[in-house]
Amino acid sequence: MTSFTSQPEILTDYVDKDIFYKMIENKLSSLGITEQDYPLNSIKLAQKFYSNLQIEFLDFKSINIGGILFKHPNISSMALNKSRSKKGRNFDCMHELIHFWFHPETEYLCTYLSNNDIQRKKLEWHANEGAAHALMPKNLFIRKYKEFKGEISKLSDFFFVGERAIAYRILNLGLDDKFIFLEDVNRYILKKFSLRLCPSCQNHISNINSLYCGICGQYLDTIIIKGDEPMNYYGYELDTNLKLKTCPRCLNTNIDESRDSCHICGFYLYNDCSNEFCGVTKLPGDTRHCPQCGSSTTFVQANILKNWEDSLTWELNKLKYEQNLSMPNGQIKELPNWNDFLEFLALSGLVYTYKILENSTAKICGYTLVIYTPKNIFKEHIQLNDTLNIITENYNSIYNEEFYEIEVVCTDDFYPIHEEPTTSSYDDIPF
């Protein structure tokens, strides 16, 4: 039984391409054809399944004739052009098979010259589009296109159809527009595209010479140029020399211009490639992988930048947390005056309270004041009742913001928890 009963067997008009492709797929799968059978040999296929179809090879003298088909209830015959290549004949035979399967007329003379008969044009469109999909199924073709980096001769060998048919298929599926292979194409032409995104993490690739995505480390042999919105990933603010403004380890803000490392805790303040043979230094504050060699950067090695997936989860967890708190009135409010408030505490002589809040940020979500602190050490101090009372009284005295509760959160708490890998002892290392 075939699954074909819901579709009309005979086509006389244009059909939606997706529907037509589905019809072709159903036809092939009813014959037991799978991806393993590619490249598909259409002549063998016809000979195997249709004993009432005779195939002969004639010398038509003109290379513009693809094939001839006579359809008859008892015995049908097809003639293919001897003067065309084997690959060309593979396409021609599949073209005739489409007529054989789906079309009502009894005689077909198929040429590569343009046709003015409108009815004939429709049937020829079906036959070419159908043959293309049968011999080069869309999904398999896209996979192979990426695998072979768009090389037409390799695709032609894999699918066993002529290079012209391959080129037409690439244009027809719009692949030339979606993928550009950096090894084949002069990179400067990419400059005309305003938006180039990493295919795996959607990071905006601003430097056309990057070999690897700076966020996820994906090798950039293919780049999706158009499509989705770019993603932004968490990163650190750097000064004009690409050096950290605040030490992320000890939170020292008094950075010594003449030193590469924090003079309080010794933290290295630049984001460099960690591969000593590569030599790329001073990368942006959100870069996790070296754009030249793909190695992780010093920020990742020091664990102040997490991998892109954890960073994304972190952001989503934080947004979800804020949204849940905002339920009573739907409001999430940034507090741009938070730093002024902290200054006010310091000036009022509340030095301890100022100190533990110094690196915090705050938001009002619903009726809750959320205080974000970068370190757990501060969280314990802020959470004391006395401190919370001081914050509430002083904040309410200056700003007219309504909140009934305070929550203190360490920003690291939003990262996903991973199982600690079991640490191996030196005994396990074989010599």
Which residue's CB is nearer to Zn ion, number 67 or number 137?
67
Residues 9-48 that bind Zn ion (CB under 5 A): none
Q: Taking CB under 5 A as the rule, does residue 198 contact Zn ion?
A: yes
Interface pick for Zn ion out of 43, 135, 247, 342 (rule CB under 5 A)? 247
Interface pick for Zn ion out of 81, 90, 210, 218 (rule CB under 5 A)? 218
For residue 70, the surrounding DSSP H or E stretch is strand 65-70
Closest to 90 (Cα-Cα) out of 140, 148, 157, 35: 157
CA distance 348 to 342: 10
Which DSSP letter does residue 323 get?
H
What SS3 state is found at 147?
Answer: helix
Which residue's CB is nearer to Zn ion, number 124 or number 129?
124
First to last CA, the chain: 63
Interface pick for Zn ion out of 142, 211, 231, 293 (rule CB under 5 A)? 293
With tokens 């158009």, the residue in question is 226
Q: Taking CB under 5 A as the rule, does residue 94 contact Zn ion?
A: no
Residues 172-191 that bind Zn ion (CB under 5 A): none
Contact 110, 95 (CB under 8 A): yes
Interface pick for Zn ion out of 53, 94, 127, 342 (rule CB under 5 A)? 127
Which residue's CB is nearer to Zn ion, number 145 or number 212?
212
Which residue's CB is nearer to Zn ion, number 219 or number 404?
219
Q: Taking CB under 5 A as the rule, does residue 205 contact Zn ion?
A: no
Contacts of residue 241, Cβ cutoff 8 Å, sequence gap at least 6: 282
The per-residue DSSP string of 234-267 comes to: ----B-TTS-BSS-TTT------TT-SB-TTT--
- The C-alpha torsion from 19 through 22 and 27 to 32, rounded to 10°, is 180
Query: What is the x/- site pattern for Zn ion, positions 103-122, by CB under 5 A?
Result: -------x------------
Closest to 95 (Cα-Cα) out of 116, 82, 113, 109: 109
With tokens 């059909």, the residue in question is 15
Residue 335 C-beta: closest distance to Zn ion, Å: 27
Interface pick for Zn ion out of 81, 156, 203, 287 (rule CB under 5 A)? 203
Interface pick for Zn ion out of 216, 357, 369, 370 (rule CB under 5 A)? 216
Contact 22, 43 (CB under 8 A): no
Residues 295-314 that bind Zn ion (CB under 5 A): 295
Which residue's CB is nearer to Zn ion, number 110 or number 370?
110
Size of the site for Zn ion (CB under 5 A): 27
Q: How do beta strands 65-70 and 76-81 pair?
A: antiparallel
Which residue's CB is nearer to Zn ion, number 94 or number 362?
94
Tell me the window of 46-54, 114-122, 193-201, 407-415 that interacts with Zn ion (CB under 5 A).
193-201
Query: What is the x/- site pattern for Zn ion, positions 248-287, by CB under 5 A?
Result: -xx-x---------x-xx-x-----x-x--x-x-------
Which residue's CB is nearer to Zn ion, number 15 or number 201?
201
Closest to 237 (Cα-Cα) out of 335, 333, 309, 304: 304
Which residues would be at the binding site for Zn ion (CB under 5 A)? Answer: 110, 124, 127, 198, 200-201, 203, 213, 215-216, 218, 247, 249-250, 252, 262, 264-265, 267, 273, 275, 278, 280, 290, 292-293, 295
